[in-house]
């Protein structure tokens, strides 16, 4: 058994864990990151792609913004498409803010690189990760790594281990309530080797369901289709996917360019928030504490926001000021509920609710009315712009 001591033990080497470890390291606070997946797996998984302006500012402020500055694509706005027409919402013109398209994978790669040079130790491919004594001031994390048993003692444990991680379930169920909602649809996502057919993201409500055109670079497009959550990816040949994308995204005078599909998968959608992000010496950040449906592009940005608040609170703690750390859960969840509201709003406005009832047809027409208002009222567009580009911390 290898006994180790650190100040903050971080579970999870996704964007939340890596960024927290990095922010603490820069402030001279020791942290150790424990991750059960391999570095190859983490770098290969395809995730979100839109960074709020505040997230980009945070990466730059912490000295890990070179990648996004060089390779990020700055977008002034988005397109909302419905009833066969495409409408531009120009955030920059409306409120002077933008978003940046830069894959989560790239953020993670930049952070791993930074840690390698001058950061916190990261134990990839750890097994049997478990947290202990979280209700005491000296919590521990145990795990196996390359055949060795590790016993990591810390002042705090941070659960940045995602929705399915071990940290949230280690909080006694009497101390935590889960608020959640699932949606009767899922996203089928593809990556395709083809220059994007659009300069900015297209979010589209079509009679057949939602569709979206996003991108990862000037060479790689990312596209999504609303499908039934019970759909199996085997039922979706490349040809069927492109056909559906042409049908839903098509507008006169515009061409959707096809390319080789290099990745395809179906993701269910859910909204989830825990009643607390703190129990004793354990703090949760990112997906470990909350999940949003992807329509508002808020998952990664929420993780970055949590970590920004938590890093500052931990830095204050080590400077003998505990106020922010005690308030972390309330502050982060207060912000999170606004984001939940926005993500739910975007999701319900843009997806076709299944079923053949009278409600179903009413809902669709009401959604068209909502989109019509959202793309024609300056007040509504500003509200969308303010939320999409990111609320202040
Ligand atoms: C993506 O590019 O993967 C993406 C972009 C915007 C969203 C969701 C996903 O709202």
Q: Is the CB of 297 under 6 A from ligand 1?
A: yes
Our answer on whether the CB atom of 347 is closer than 6 Å to any ligand 1 atom is no
* Confidence label for 161 from pLDDT (cuts 50, 70 and 90): very high
Question: pLDDT per residue over 108-147, tens digit each?
Answer: 999 999 999 989 999 999 999 999 999 999 999 999 999 9
pLDDT digits (tens, 9 = 90+) for 247-259: 999 999 999 999 9
Sorting pLDDT into bands at 50, 70 and 90, what band is 178? very high
Q: How far apart are the first and last CA of the chain?
A: 42
Among 99, 103, 220, 222, which residue has the most ligand 1 atoms within 8 Å of its CB, making it the best to mutate? 222
Q: Are 6 and 152 in contact (CB under 8 A)?
A: yes
Our answer on whether the CB atom of 190 is closer than 6 Å to any ligand 1 atom is no
Q: State the pLDDT confidence band at 360, using cuts at 50, 70 and 90.
A: confident
Please name every residue paired with 136 in a beta bridge, in sequence order, or none if there are none.
none
Cα 205 to Cα 352: distance, rounded to the nearest angstrom: 7
Q: Which residues is 78 bridged to in the sheet?
A: 89
Interatomic CA distance for residues 377 and 350, integer angstroms: 18
Token pair listed for 367: 């959604």
Residue 63 CA to ligand 1 centre (angstroms): 25
Residue of minimum CA distance from atom 1 in ligand 1: 49
Q: How high is the pLDDT of residue 240?
A: 98
List the structure tokens of 191. Answer: 């990556």
Instruction: Flag whether pLDDT at 356 surpasses 80.
Output: no
Q: How far is the CA of 294 from the centre of ligand 1 (A)?
A: 7
Residue 99 alpha carbon to ligand 1 centre in Å = 12
Rounded average pLDDT over 330-351: 98
Q: How far does the centroid of ligand 1 lie from the alpha carbon of residue 381, in Å?
A: 19
3-state secondary structure of 256: coil
**Exposure b/e, 5-24, CB count within 10 A at least 16 = b:** ebbbbbbbbbbbbbbbbbbb
- Residue 101's pLDDT band (cuts 50, 70, 90): very high
Question: Does the CB atom of residue 206 touch ligand 1 within 6 A?
Answer: no
Active site residue ranges: 75, 203, 294, 298, 388
**Residue 83, CA distances (Å) to 98, 194, 199, 352 in order:** 26, 27, 21, 13
The residue-averaged pLDDT of 335-345 equals: 98
Query: Could you tell me the pLDDT band of residue 21, with boundaries at 50, 70 and 90?
Result: very high
**Distance (Å, whole) CA 298 – CA 67:** 20
Cβ–ligand 1 distance for 289 under 6 Å, the answer no
306-336 tens-digit pLDDT:
999 999 999 999 999 999 999 999 999 999 9
């Amino acid at each position: 058994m290898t006994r180790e001591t650190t100040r903050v033990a971080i579970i999870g080497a996704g964007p939340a864990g890596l960024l927290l470890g990095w922010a603490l390291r820069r402030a001279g606070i020791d942290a150790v990151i424990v991750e059960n997946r391999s570095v190859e797996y983490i770098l290969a998984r395809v995730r979100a792609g839109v960074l709020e302006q505040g997230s980009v500012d945070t990466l730059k402020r912490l000295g890990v913004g070179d990648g996004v500055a060089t390779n990020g694509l700055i977008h002034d706005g988005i397109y909302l498409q419905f009833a066969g027409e495409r409408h531009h919402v120009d955030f920059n013109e409306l409120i002077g803010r933008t978003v940046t398209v830069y894959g989560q994978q790239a953020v993670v790669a930049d952070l791993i690189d930074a840690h390698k040079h001058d950061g916190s130790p990261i134990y990839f491919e750890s097994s049997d990760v478990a947290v202990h004594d979280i209700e005491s001031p000296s919590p521990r994390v145990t795990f196996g790594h390359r055949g060795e048993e590790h016993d990591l003692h810390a002042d705090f444990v941070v659960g940045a281990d995602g929705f399915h991680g071990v940290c949230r379930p280690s909080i006694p169920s009497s101390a935590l309530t889960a608020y959640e909602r699932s949606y009767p649809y899922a996203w089928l996502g593809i990556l395709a080797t083809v220059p994007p057919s659009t300069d900015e993201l297209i979010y589209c409500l079509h009679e057949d369901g939602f569709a979206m055109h996003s991108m990862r670079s000037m060479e790689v497009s990312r596209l999504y289709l609303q499908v039934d959550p019970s759909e199996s990816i085997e039922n979706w040949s490349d040809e069927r996917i492109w056909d559906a994308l042409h049908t839903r995204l098509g507008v006169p005078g515009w061409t959707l360019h096809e390319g080789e599909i290099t990745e395809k998968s179906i993701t269910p959608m859910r909204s989830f928030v825990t009643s607390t992000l703190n129990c004793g010496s354990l703090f949760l950040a990112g997906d470990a504490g909350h999940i949003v449906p992807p329509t508002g592009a808020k998952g990664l940005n929420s993780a970055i926001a949590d970590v920004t608040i938590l890093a500052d609170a931990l830095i204050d703690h080590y400077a003998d000021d505990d106020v922010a750390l005690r308030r972390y859960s309330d502050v982060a969840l207060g912000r999170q509920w606004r984001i939940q509201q926005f993500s739910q709003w975007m999701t319900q406005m843009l997806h076709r609710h299944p079923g053949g009832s009278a409600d179903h047809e009413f809902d669709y027409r009401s959604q068209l009315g909502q989109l019509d208002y959202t793309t024609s009222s300056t007040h509504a567009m500003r509200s969308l712009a303010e939320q999409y580009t990111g609320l202040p911390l």
